[in-house]
Structure 1
Amino acid sequence: MSWRRYVRWIKWPWRWVFDQRERKDYIAQFTSWTIATLIGPRSMVRQTWDGKDNLASARDVAILVTWDMKGRVHDFLIEHMKALKKAGRTVILVSNSPEFPEDEVAKALPHCGLVAWRHNRGYDFGAYRDGVLLVPDYDRLDSLILINDSIYGPFQPLAPLLKKAKAEKADVWGMTDSWDTRWHLQSYFLFFHAAALRNKWVKALWQNWTHVQSKSWIINKLEIGLTGRIEQQGLKCAALFPYRSQVTAFANTVRDNEMLADESLPEPHRRLLERMLELADAGAPMNPCHFFWDQLIVQGFPFMKREVLTANPIGMPRLYEWSDVVGNNSKYDPDLVVRHLRAIAKNRVV
């Protein structure tokens, strides 16, 4: 048997046991979960560096997770740390990168209380958890933000938005929510108030964590499942930019302006609007950060998902106008995004 035929022969059982192809790859998820359980709840942090800011006395902390193939601390990430600091947050930067050169670490230290480099097990959620364990006095925290670098921004100051996320209205806030599979807060930004942080189940979540190396398991159990599990503890979750408001505003705009009948609108744009309206009318969930990215920014939403520009998942027409949308609705420098895209984007002009 040739080696090529041998590879084909073992390919399908390998994929069933170890591959991460979709949300229903249950054998792969179980295998990853079993391995994580055997390893146990230990931290994956390799090394830490003390930053300029005083983490020991911090009561409002933001754990910012980043990944870059070469361990670079890009300018947009530095701007992100500066904005969190201006909003009164002490930043713990956690890098999941395969390498993390000292000169890149040095770029981050002036803007952080702590920089950590870890093995990329458990992906962003694993990094969130390991970052939580690095907080010197968790029980003194008034608030905790979990946020990752899958977003560009913030285009607006964060402090006014965080003030709107009142503890009296909800214990855990997200920027946006999703109805994909079941209702949940989108995990690129999660804001925990003290009541949630001190909840016994939430504290046990951090302490008993196992780093399951399965993206589909993380999507099912954490990105989608975490919100429901939090609310089962009697805690309330809410989004600053709720999906239902976004889809209603979109549908009203399209219908009130008779956009589908506008002959000056390019055909690809009209087809997309028509498809989105069909999904809205059918109650089929859409990812708000993909479908309504421009509408959100106009409303004061402070971020843009990186994958909108790097992959354009829904085939949004005239996406090259993104910098005009950002520039016209904020004081953010779009060149921070352009420089990062030049470093990472392939076969796309954005």
Structure 2
Amino acid sequence: MSAPFDHVLLTRFSAVLHPDAPPPDEDWLYYRLGFFVDACLPSVRSQEGARPFEWLVLLDDRCTDTFRADVEELGRGAFTPLWSHAPFRRNTFAEPVARRCAAPYLISTRIDSDDAMAVDLMAAVQAQFAGQERMFVNFPRGVQVDRSGAVYRADILSSPFLSLIERRREGEAPLTVYAAKHARARGVAPLREVRAPVMWAQVLHGTNLSNIANGVRVHPRVVGERFRIDLGYDADVTGGSLLRAQAAQLGRLARLWAAHPGELTKAVEASVGTLRGTHERPQEAGAPTLTDRVQEWERDTRTRLRHGRWSATERANALLPVRERVVSGDLADVLARDRVVVLAEWSRGARVRGDAARAAQGWADAGFGVLVVAARDPWSRLRSSTVPGGVAVVRRPNTAYDFGSWAHALRTWPALAGKKLVVLTNDSLVGPLGPLDEVVRRIDASSADVWAATENRQPVEHLQSYLLAFRDGVLSRPPLRDFFAGVQPVGSKRDVVFTYELGLTRVVDAAGLRRDVGWTHAELGAPETVDLPLGVWRQLLDAGMPFVKRVLLTGPQFAPVRAAVEQELRGLADGAR
């Protein structure tokens, strides 16, 4: 007798999560594949007592032939790779699942590629089937294993290991478990929380930033008892060593919960839900939990505190005396040049940021006078240091971000505005990774009044302000002179973008000035919606741009490409020596 249901396991390995996202770096792919091979794959292969199920794994097809071949080889007899670079949607799995499944009911289960399931999870999911019209199933009890090998208890309601039971409807594609974000599953269907032993394991690692250890340290034997995985963990910590580790974790949890009360309420709600035993939570779209309310309060409070700190800093910079002075270098030499760079820099440190100092050296080597405008709060020191010829460092109050530094320079030394060429740049760039010949060539090759290295089409077409050039005294003419004279403090970097970065392009266009960009989307082969310095940074480097944006090395959203950026920077720096 055939089973009344089909069961599929669904995994997003390297799915494209937003339009025009760059392909993941190969180093990141193999890093992720290591966890897949050590944890996810063996745990799925070792399932016991379950009816047959099919495993579909979604991967970005913009990868090397070698990586693709390795995945295909791993998949033989275990899973079916689905290759695509279409942006992931809630119904992405619907069509491939519909083609493979014909039973009256469908069970779909999700697992992340770096996590693991207990040996009986799939059988336990199937045991919950009772011909439900539509119902999510969750096992809230699991563990977390970090890179040190420590094992923590983890209770999560509506966890990332959800399953969905649904009755198939003729002529309609299935919903699948990805019909909703796991934490919001009850907006789509009722949710059954099932009391059971440890049923899943999350692996905590450097690029898995959404997970934190939010539970107590437990004896590692649970991993050997409930999982068949090759992932290394600390199986020998027992007795006094375990007690000391548990005490240390309690201290970390106390600090975490004090700093993030929402994590405390999440842990409490999950523990209470687990202690209730098996129970069903009704479908209820948009109903906030206690954790939702606490986290919203936490976000609002942090926003108010951030704005409060910013306002206090602004007032301090406006009221307290800050000696605007030349800190280093020969200012007269800089101002005597026809081609001048004004470099906006900020740091909490007592010295100019290293990347800004290297950029100043690069521009000076290219024949420019360089004025580094260092923004500091009144209580911050800024020490004098030796700078190359043609470079001067001046201090100003810390207000209005980069546009404030540029406006300060133009207001304090008005002769700058009439120069043959004025370059405005900032310390958001890492580099230069070689001579600036190509940047200078592209600036000089343009006859436009205003030049930018790149432009962005989001939210509207505008010149990006990290590297701008103004020709033949255009900054001294009323439209741009008045624009920079009107720069005022704003509340956030986002406000800077909307008020001044977008505003600059509006002023340029309204005044009928000619504008141009150094590197275009067409030249780099990028869709027009891509943010070029972030989305195609490697192509920019190959095309002669000797800088990369620092956020590629610091932003958690760029973890998949960070190793490649660092490697590229090392290679280019070595080649430049």
Q: TM-score, normalised by structure 2?
A: 0.42
Which residue number in structure 2 is paired with residue 142 of structure 1? 420
1:198 aligns with 2:441: no
Taking structure 1 as reference, are residues 312 and 289 closer, same or farther at Cα in structure 2, changes over 3 Å only? farther
- CA deviation map 1:162-198 (0-9, x unaligned): 2322475311111111111111111111111115223
- For 2:541, the equivalent position in structure 1 comes to 297
Q: Are residues 1:83 and 2:368 paired?
A: no
- 1:309 equivalent to 2:309? Answer no
1:277-335 deviation line (CA, Å, top 9, x unaligned): xxx4xx6x222111111121122111100010111534434x3232442354565669x
Match for 1:121: what amino acid? T
Cα 1:296/1:11, change in 2 over 3 Å: closer
Counterpart check, 1:171 vs 2:414: no
The question of whether the paired residues in 1 share the 8 Å contact of 2:450 and 2:470 is answered with: yes
* Partner deviation per Cα, 1:90-127 (whole Å, 9 max, x = no partner): 11111123355453x224x4455532212211011111
CA contact (8 A) 1:61 1:91 kept: yes
Q: CA RMSD in A?
A: 3.6
Distance 1:102-1:217 versus aligned 2 partners, 3 A rule? closer
Task: Say which SS state the counterpart of residue 241 (structure 1) adopts.
Answer: coil
Deviation readout 1:63-107 (Å, 9 max, x if unpaired): 11111112322443322111111222111111123355453x224
Match of 2:489 among 211, 226, 240: 211
Q: Any gaps of 5 or more consecutive residues in structure 2?
A: 1-260, 262-295
Matches within 5 A, 1:121-140: 121-135=399-413, 137-138=415-416, 140=418
* 1:221 Cα offset (Å): 1.7
Contact 1:45 1:116 (C-alpha < 8 Å) held by counterparts = no
3-state secondary structure, aligned to 2:553: helix
Give the conservation status (yes or no) of the 8 Å contact 1:83–1:154.
yes
Deviations 1:240-276 (A, max 9, x none): 1113433xx25xxxxxxxxxxxxxxxxxxxxxxxxxx
Residues 217 and 320 (structure 1), Cα distance of their counterparts in 2 relative to 1, 3 Å cut: closer
Seen in structure 2, the aligned counterparts of structure 1 residues 212 and 114 have a Cα distance that, compared at 3 Å, is: same
Deviations 1:26-70 (Å, cap 9, x if unpaired)? xx9xx99xx99xx8xx9x973211623613422211111111112
Write the letter of the residue equivalent to 1:237: R
Residue 235 (structure 1) shift:
0.7
The residue aligned with 2:352 is 73
| Higher relative contact order, structure no. (Cα contacts within 8 Å, ≥ 6 residues apart) | 1
- Shift in Å, 1:214: 3.7
1:322 matched to 2:556: no
Residue in structure 1 matched with residue 329 of structure 2 by the alignment: 51
Helix, strand or coil at the partner of 2:323: strand
Q: What CA distance in whole angstroms lies between the structure 2 residues aligned with 1:59 and 1:118?
A: 23
**Equivalents in 2 of 1:332, 1:223: separation in Å?**
34
